Amino acid sequence: MKSVIFWLLESSERKHFAQRFVNSLIIGLIVLNSFAVALATVESYKVIYGDIFDIFETFSVVIFTLEYILRLWVCTEKEEKIYKHPMTGRLRYILTPFAIIDLVAILPYYLGAFVEIDLRFMRAFRLVRIFRFASNSKTLQALGNVFKKESRTLLAALLVMIIVLFTASTIMYYFEKDIQPDKFGSIPEAMWWGVAALTTVGFGDSVPISVQGKLLAGLIMILGIVIYALPAGVFASAFVRELRSKSFFDTWNLVAKVPILKNLDASAIGKIVEILEPYEVKVHQVIDTTKGMYFIISGVVEITRGDESKKLSEGGFFGEMETLFGGKRNVIAKATTPVEFLILRPKYFGEFLEAHSGIREVIKKEVENRSKA
Amino acid sequence: MKSVIFWLLESSERKHFAQRFVNSLIIGLIVLNSFAVALATVESYKVIYGDIFDIFETFSVVIFTLEYILRLWVCTEKEEKIYKHPMTGRLRYILTPFAIIDLVAILPYYLGAFVEIDLRFMRAFRLVRIFRFASNSKTLQALGNVFKKESRTLLAALLVMIIVLFTASTIMYYFEKDIQPDKFGSIPEAMWWGVAALTTVGFGDSVPISVQGKLLAGLIMILGIVIYALPAGVFASAFVRELRSKSFFDTWNLVAKVPILKNLDASAIGKIVEILEPYEVKVHQVIDTTKGMYFIISGVVEITRGDESKKLSEGGFFGEMETLFGGKRNVIAKATTPVEFLILRPKYFGEFLEAHSGIREVIKKEVENRSKA
Amino acid sequence: MKSVIFWLLESSERKHFAQRFVNSLIIGLIVLNSFAVALATVESYKVIYGDIFDIFETFSVVIFTLEYILRLWVCTEKEEKIYKHPMTGRLRYILTPFAIIDLVAILPYYLGAFVEIDLRFMRAFRLVRIFRFASNSKTLQALGNVFKKESRTLLAALLVMIIVLFTASTIMYYFEKDIQPDKFGSIPEAMWWGVAALTTVGFGDSVPISVQGKLLAGLIMILGIVIYALPAGVFASAFVRELRSKSFFDTWNLVAKVPILKNLDASAIGKIVEILEPYEVKVHQVIDTTKGMYFIISGVVEITRGDESKKLSEGGFFGEMETLFGGKRNVIAKATTPVEFLILRPKYFGEFLEAHSGIREVIKKEVENRSKA
Amino acid sequence: MKSVIFWLLESSERKHFAQRFVNSLIIGLIVLNSFAVALATVESYKVIYGDIFDIFETFSVVIFTLEYILRLWVCTEKEEKIYKHPMTGRLRYILTPFAIIDLVAILPYYLGAFVEIDLRFMRAFRLVRIFRFASNSKTLQALGNVFKKESRTLLAALLVMIIVLFTASTIMYYFEKDIQPDKFGSIPEAMWWGVAALTTVGFGDSVPISVQGKLLAGLIMILGIVIYALPAGVFASAFVRELRSKSFFDTWNLVAKVPILKNLDASAIGKIVEILEPYEVKVHQVIDTTKGMYFIISGVVEITRGDESKKLSEGGFFGEMETLFGGKRNVIAKATTPVEFLILRPKYFGEFLEAHSGIREVIKKEVENRSKA
């Protein structure tokens, strides 16, 4: 019983239908709660649908409470040793960031009777929990990795930004304090202008009006371009690199399914994997053969040249490659089942063929055979 | 008749004069309609030119209606089987996004008598149709491909943005609701501020005024740099990559026209294609010979060295390359007809010559011959 | 006389002192005029310094007129044939963009008596002329090239932006026209909002207030990130590439001055040029030897190891390379004259040594000799 | 005594505890002063905590004065000859930018009695001093290098921006001066709008209202995207490149500690260094073995395959590599001490193995041994 619930709620692999179903329900309820909390703050909706919001809140909190208790109960099933102990393990679990968010989401409801302030809107913060459910997403993992790897660089960029911000705001305070005491009456107030200027947001609620203030602002705004580019450039570039290296292993596993490729030795596969691209098409879709050479991993493709047509399945290959060896053009390829491919883009043809003369011969012969037909 | 109209309106290749003419007329009319719709909303123009706008509208709608009926009639000529059936095929065509836009553009005119609301401005939406006409543009195709390929990454970036937006807006609502109930009176209203801050647009119509609100806003705006960089960086980087790989095949076809290059085997051509760049000059233009080595694909170039001059045509080559083998400098090259080239940039000289010693010898001899002359 | 003035004013190479002097004077006068025009529009300065501005204006216009007449006179000396004819050549010159700007800058002064409107501020437009003077700048040339090369891509990006802008503004007009007829009363007025939103400028003078308007605006602002990234990414990436390829030839010419490198054959030089970096230090400057291997092109460097010291001149080399072959560390290198180098960065050591075993041996021996000493 | 103080305050290497302690104290005091200066400008805090601020100010200025005098005293200990002379050396030191900032931070306090204006807030500018303390940071060094290297390009980008700004503002002045004389009454005032538009900040305090003004503004804002991308793109791309080349030498020193790698010759190490990545894990952390091949530099890792487990220490290697040679998967690696690694990412497997067949054999045998076990 306990391990089943653990498997349903906390298992890191979520392949079984029941797991997906339970998790989808929870995600759905979280998203709906966020909507409900947001809409309940709109006066006009509150008046009309107030009861529905209340009922939904009670219902959600009950479910969330149940979920919280269950997670707390089964957390000792986790692989990590620190959670194994029935008492200290559970205490440790309670102090994990996600468990705190879960608690924060339900607690205000129960405290409603004792506390004056209405904190029930905190239910909405469970939205952050979606990151936990989406933790299988490659993109989000890549995002996390980039934040970890580049944290020093990002902090240094932040340090530069803060020093520029502070210095500029101090000078601006000195320039504007007597003219606009309501907006630049203190350095922290001047920094509110500075943040808006440096991040290029520019709300415009606080703007210098003295000549020297405007000159300084102009300088800071132009300098801001470079200061803005720093973290943005580092982050974007690291993120793109991270994403590309992520897809490497997925491709590797696919290469092993293509007969013409799988007999290569390890180092050759290592090279090929980098230049192949996985790709999927739906049933009945027409495939643009000019985009590269296609190796079929699963499914059936029908190749039509003029009147003749032929079916290729797992391990077959076709595409623009043929023109290299004098094959016929104007080929129409159509998926007769859903098909998975690996594509070799034309820009890698030369590199690929030169390195693997064996493969080259196989392809050449195959193309000649097809041309004769 | 039917196939001629299909060929005029819907053919994917538009090379014939008649096709271009018809399509240009339609594009022109669409653009003019967009202008007319926009200007007709300006009160002062409406008063003066109202009649002209009305006549132009009637004229345009008649043409568009005719076009719509013709497209519907000939759609059975399309290659795709699903459009072949006279009834269901046409129904399917009606439900394609572009056909719906076409209908939306003309329908309000006819419904004008029955419906109260004036929806005739919807004619302007046909502007989107220009994407259909421009679908041959490599850049727009690349754009479409990038959207398809990177959709998961963009969605993940969007998810991060939405969660940050929602969380920040919820807290901001809590900070500001009592001070500015007109602007932060509900979470959705606070989100209007949040979107403006995170996208760095910063309209400034809704700005926090409490100290804690400004602190949170400052944090979010700085975090916004990174969140902004995510989709922007992914998209820009994928777009640049896509554009580069697009031009590969165009170059390939040109290489086959240069005698010195075309005898290379396929894998060598694959390599060269990647480092050559197609280029065109107008008649009488002077060519900057220091920019690389030029292979002439079509046209005639006049090379002048001091007093001597010489004409090179298809298959000839010249340029900075000569300096490598001790050729003369200060060469003036001038196009005597419009000329198409392939350029080999200096940074690839080494790579190119090393790989193809045969070509190297040919070039060396040629340069020595020229120097003797 | 005529050719001397041509050489002074229009020569494309500006190496002689007299040329530089004349051109600097003109640039200075242009910049000063821009300042004068700008400051003369400030009421308070005009009142006090009005006379000085007037005198300076008369003086400048006289000089500019003289310059214009001289340029017109000598333009027949230009290399291009189309300017050779005394009459038609000069007419052609008058119609070049820069000549038109020159005329526009002086004409309003003379027309002042006849025309009512004060257009004398147009003198300021001569600032654009600085691009002509700066046309030797590699960066500005690269900028121009990128604009030319990427014009299609930039136009496609612009097309996408305009269609999105027009469509969004049309819908926004429909949403807001009745609520804010002063700001969204027509589609062109709504487009003013749209441009501010899509370019992330967000002035905030025109902002939707209806719920559906804000929803649409939010969508457009998020979509705007991607639309903004398109031209920015393409342009930045093309610009960076262009800049890097520009510096290739400058380095090439320097390599020929280093004995150890210049005997390599052409293809090897082609490779090395790409990984070497030109660098200059001032006299008495201490050189950070850990940054790579230094090849001296001109000047003298004093190398100190503990107590010994040695002078290296043209063709000598030193730096972190020595550690590879067991040389001593803690070397202090100091320029005893201004010195020009080529630097080989550590990340290219492997590549470089493997490719050129001859060079490798020379370096190894040299380092061993030094270590013995 | 003097050299000890020099060592504490000015030594470029700060590894000893005492050095770190003293420098941390100074940094902390600088940061606290910045906070104090900022908060002291807020009226409400000033009233309540005014005395504390005053005491803290006196205390800080005393410390800073002491520090300034000590630095001035010991500056003759610096390596650079120009500071050696007791008089002229100290004078030179006083004129260095950081010494001026130090003086500016304390002087206003002493001048308070003589000068009317309150300049004591200048203490806050000592925040810039943090750059000096952080000068060991690789990121900040890289930032400085990029500014130096790319200064020409950045200046050219700035020139383009200024000319576009000036021209646009001049035209805008002409369009708007009669309608909004308070905001566009002079060219400098129009430039305030222009800077906000070109940097995409868009405060919105000064916005064109004429039709032609809005058209021009729209154009400039769209052009602004490209002008903004120029310095941002150049800077971000140069910064990313600089950061990557920085880490080269650190890795080199680590490679020498891995037995299987250190016997390679210099050129081979040069290649490997580029593809290895340094990495650290804390004690008890589980290592994701699918991320590449790990070479242990220091520390102990426990490898568990099913029931067997094995300890690897300095010089050992493990990871996804094994799958290449048919090793077992599902390996759990856990650090039993803090561990330093070099990681070889999967995308470099092919390249690495092909180049070093010796290493390949060693790895293969090792994997076979492990599989047998």
pLDDT digits (tens, 9 = 90+) for C3-34: 888 888 877 666 678 888 888 888 899 889 88
* Contact list, D349 vs chain A (CB under 8 Å): 266-267, 270
3-state SS, residue A269 = helix
Q: Which residues, in sequence order, are bridge partners of residue D335?
A: D301
Q: Would you call C290 an interface residue with chain B, using a CB distance cutoff of 8 Å?
A: no
DSSP D153-181: HHHHHHHHHHHHHHHHHHHHHHHHTTT-H
Chains A, B: CB contacts under 8 A, how many?
166
Give tens-digit pLDDT for B141-190. 778 878 877 787 888 888 889 989 999 999 999 899 899 999 998 999 99
Residue C200 to residue A203, Cβ atoms within 8 A? no
DSSP secondary structure code for residue D206 in this structure: S
Q: What is the radius of gyration, based on Cα positions, of chain A?
A: 30
Instruction: Write the pLDDT tens digit of every residue in A12-64.
Output: 666 678 888 888 888 899 889 888 888 888 888 888 888 898 899 889 989 99
Chain C CB within 8 Å of residue B351 CB: yes
Which residues in chain D touch residue A186, judged by CB atoms under 8 angstroms apart?
38, 41-43
- Provide, as residue numbers in chain C, all residues whose Cβ is less than 8 Å from the Cβ of D153: 139, 243
The tens digit of pLDDT for each residue in D300-311 reads 888 887 777 788
Distance from the Cα of residue B146 to its chain's centroid? 12
Which of A101, A133, A165 lies at the terminal end of a domain, its last residue? Answer: A133
Neighbours of C32 (CB within 10 A): 12
Q: Which residues pair with D344 in a beta bridge?
A: D276, D293
User: Does residue D193 sit within a domain?
Assistant: yes
C230 touching B (Cβ < 8 Å): yes
Q: Among A121, A125, A228, select the one facing B225 at the smallest CB separation.
A: A228
Chain B residue numbers with beta carbons less than 8 Å from the beta carbon of D202 are: 201-202
Highest mean pLDDT among A234-243, B31-40, C266-275, D263-272: B31-40
With a pLDDT cut of 70, the percent of chain C lying above it is: 78
**Count of structural domains within chain B:** 3
Residue B202 Ramachandran class (φ > 0 left, ψ -120 to 50 alpha, else beta): left
Q: Quick one: tokens of C258?
A: 């280093």
- Is the minimum CB–CB distance between A336 and chain B shorter than 8 Å? no
Q: Which of B245, B267, B283 is the last residue of a domain?
A: B245
pLDDT band, very low/low/confident/very high, at D333 (cuts 50, 70, 90)? confident
Residue D110 to chain C, least CA–CA distance (Å) = 38
Structural domain for B26, as ranges: 2-133
Element (H, E) at B162: helix B151-176
Is C204 in Cβ contact with A203 (below 8 Å)?
A: yes
User: Which residue, chain included where needed, has tokens 């470079």?
Assistant: A226
Instruction: Give the burial class of A282: count Cβ atoms within 10 A of its Cβ; 0-12 exposed, 13-18 middle, 19 or more buried.
Output: exposed
Give the DSSP letter of residue A285. Answer: P
Reduced to 3 states (helix: H, G, I; strand: E, B; else coil), residue D338 is coil
What are A325's two structure tokens?
Answer: 């060896």
Nearest chain B Cα to A41, which residue? Answer: B186
pLDDT recorded at residue A266: 47
pLDDT given at position A47: 87
- D334 Cα to chain A: minimum distance (Å): 12
Residue C209 per-residue DSSP state = -
Cα separation, C330 vs C308, in Å, equals 12
Residue type, C309: S
Chain D: residue whose CA lies nearest to A183: D42
Phi and psi torsions of B318, nearest 5°:
-165, 175
Inside any domain, residue C139: no
The nearest CA of chain D is from the CA of A22 a distance in Å of: 28
* Helices C151-176 & C187-198 angle (0-180, nearest 10): 120
pLDDT band at D196 (very low <50, low <70, confident <90, very high): very high
Give the dihedral sign, CA C353/C355/C361/C362: negative
Contacts of A64 (CB under 8 A, 6+ apart): A29, A102, A105, A106, A123, A126
Side-chain-side CA neighbours of B25 within 13 Å: the count stands at 11
* Domain contains B142: no
Of A122-131, C44-53, D320-329, the one with minimum mean pLDDT is: D320-329
User: What CATH code is carried by the domain that includes residue C88?
Assistant: 1.20.120.350
The pLDDT of residue D254: 64
Within 8 A by CB and 6+ apart from C349, the residues are C293, C321, C324, D266, D267, D270
- pLDDT number for residue B266: 47
pLDDT at residue D301, as a whole number: 86
pLDDT digits (tens, 9 = 90+) for A310-351: 888 777 777 765 555 555 556 778 888 778 788 877 666 666
Chains touching D, CB cut-off 8 Å, 3+ pairs: A, B, C
> Which of C135, C199, C267 to mutate to test binding with chain B, by most B CBs within 10 Å of its CB?
C267
Residue B203, min C-alpha distance to chain D (Å): 8
Contact A104, A122 (CB under 8 A): yes
Two tokens, residue A166: 């502070």
Neighboring chain C residues of B121 at a CB cutoff of 8 Å: 170, 173-174, 187
Output the six-digit token pair for A131: 């990151």
The C-alpha of D8 sits at a distance from chain C's nearest C-alpha, in angstroms, of 23
Q: What mean pLDDT do residues A231-235 have?
A: 84
Instruction: Output the CA torsion B281→B285→B291→B292 (10° steps).
Output: 60
Same domain? A100 vs A11? yes
Which has the minimum average pLDDT: B110-124, C56-70, D358-372? D358-372
Kindly list the residues from chain B whose CB atom is less than 8 angstroms away from the CB atom of residue D204.
203-204
Please give the structure tokens belonging to residue C345.
């960065």
* Residue found under tokens 């699963």: A298
Nearest to A121 among B170, B203, B225 (CB): B170
Query: Which of A135 and D90 is assigned the larger pLDDT?
Result: D90
- Per-residue pLDDT reduced to its tens digit, C254-301: 665 666 665 565 455 556 666 777 777 877 788 877 777 788 877 888
Same domain, D275 and D156: no
Task: Using an 8 Å CB-CB cutoff, list chain B residues near D45.
Answer: none
Q: Which CATH number do you get for residue C212?
A: 1.10.287.70
* Chains sharing 3 or more CB pairs under 8 A with chain C: A, B, D
Report the neighbours of B using a cutoff of 3 or more CB pairs below 8 angstroms. Answer: A, C, D
Chain segment D107-150, per-residue pLDDT in tens: 888 887 677 667 777 777 888 777 767 665 677 777 887 887 77
- Pull the structure tokens for residue C324: 């590879």
In a domain, B138, yes or no: no
Q: What is the DSSP string of A192-209?
A: HHHHHHHTT----SS---
State whether residue C354 sits within 8 Å of chain B by CB.
no
How many C-beta neighbours within 10 Å does residue A228 have?
25
D193 lies in the same domain as D279 = no
Contact D204 B200 (CB under 8 A): no
Distance (Å, rounded) from C-alpha B143 to C-alpha B126?
Answer: 20
Say whether both D282 and D232 belong to one domain: no
Is residue C246 pLDDT above 90, yes or no?
A: no
Burial A126-138 (b: 16+ CB within 10 A, else e): bbbbbbeebeebe
Q: Which residues contact C175 (CB under 8 A, 6 or more apart)?
A: C184, C208, C210, C212, C213, C216
Neighboring chain D residues of A173 at a CB cutoff of 8 Å: 41, 121
Q: Is residue D143 part of a domain?
A: no
Q: Are strands A301-305 and D317-319 parallel, antiparallel or unpaired?
A: unpaired
Counting residues of chain C whose pLDDT is more than 90, the rounded percentage is 14
Instruction: Find the helix or strand (DSSP H, E) in which B294 lies.
Output: strand B293-298
In a domain, C288, yes or no: yes
Nearest CA in chain D to B200: D201
CA distance C341 to C320: 14
Region C74-102: mean pLDDT is 84
Tell which B residues from 177 to 216 touch A, by Cβ distance under 8 Å: 177, 185-189, 191, 196-197, 200-204, 207, 211, 214
Contact B42 C186 (CB under 8 A): yes
Pick from A273, D287, D306, D360: which is nearest to D368 by CA?
Answer: D360
Kindly list the strands in the beta sheet with C308-312, ordered across the sheet, starting from the edge strand earlier in the chain: C286-287, C331-335, C301-305, C308-312
Q: Check C201 against D191: CB less than 8 A apart.
A: no
Considering the domain architecture, whether residues A241 and A255 belong to the same structural domain is answered as no
Q: Is residue B264 part of a domain?
A: yes
Tell me which chain A residues have a C-beta less than 8 angstroms from the C-beta of C203: 204
How buried is D57 (Cβ within 10 angstroms: 0-12 exposed, 13-18 middle, 19+ buried)?
A: middle
- Partner-chain residue, chosen from C156, C248, C268, that has the shortest CB–CB distance to B139: C156
- Compute the mean pLDDT over every residue in chain C, rounded to the nearest whole number: 79
CA end-to-end distance (rounded Å), chain D? 63
Q: What is the DSSP string of A63-85?
A: HHHHHHHHHHHHGGGSSSGGGTS
Smallest CA–CA distance, residue A193 to chain D, in Å, is 10
D210/D287 same-domain check: no
User: B200 and D200: CB-CB below 8 Å?
Assistant: yes
* CB-CB under 8 Å, C134 with D173: no
Domain boundary among A77, A105, A133: A133
Top-confidence range, A134-148, C12-26, D83-97: D83-97
Separation of CA D83 from chain center: 28
Contact A202, B196 (CB under 8 A): no
Contact pairs from chain B to chain D, CB under 8 Å? 7
Between B102-106, C63-67, C101-105, C272-276, the lowest mean confidence (pLDDT) is in C272-276
CB-closest option in C41, C140, C191 to D156: C140
* Mean pLDDT, residues D271-298 taken together: 76
Q: Give percent of chain D above pLDDT 90.
A: 14
CB C37 within 8 Å of CB C46: no
Whether C203 sits inside 8 A of A203 (CB atoms) is no
Residue C267 shares a structural domain with residue C365? yes
Place of tokens 């119609």: C95
Give the whole-angstrom CA distance, residue C39 versus residue D191.
12
Q: Do A154 and B226 touch (CB under 8 A)?
A: yes
**Do D6 and D112 fall within a single domain?**
yes
Q: Does D329 score more than 90 pLDDT?
A: no
What is the three-class DSSP state of A331? strand
Note whether residue D140 is domain-resident.
Answer: no
Does B94 share its domain with B170? no
Chain A neighbours (≥3 Cβ pairs under 8 A) are: B, C, D
Asked if D354 has any chain C CB less than 8 Å from its own CB, the reply is no
More confident residue, D356 or D186: D186
Which of C163, C166, C202 has the CB atom closest to B196's CB atom?
A: C202
CB neighbour burial string for A162-200, b if at least 16 within 10 angstroms, e if fewer: bbbbbbbbbbbbbbbbeebeebbbbbbbbbbbbbbbbbb
Residues D117 and D12 in one domain: yes
Residues C235 and C271 reside in one and the same domain: no
CATH number at residue D368: 2.60.120.10
Band (A158; pLDDT cuts 50, 70, 90): confident
Contact predicate C123/C57, CB 8 Å? yes
Question: Quick one: pLDDT band at residue D2, thresholds 50, 70, 90?
Answer: confident
Is the pLDDT confidence value at D325 over 70? no
Is residue D158 over pLDDT 80?
A: yes
Same domain membership, residue A363 and residue A273: yes
Tally of CA atoms within 13 A in the half-sphere of C14 that contains its CB: 20
**For C274, which residue in chain B has the nearest alpha carbon?**
B347
Candidate from A163, A197, A267 with C-beta closest to D350: A267
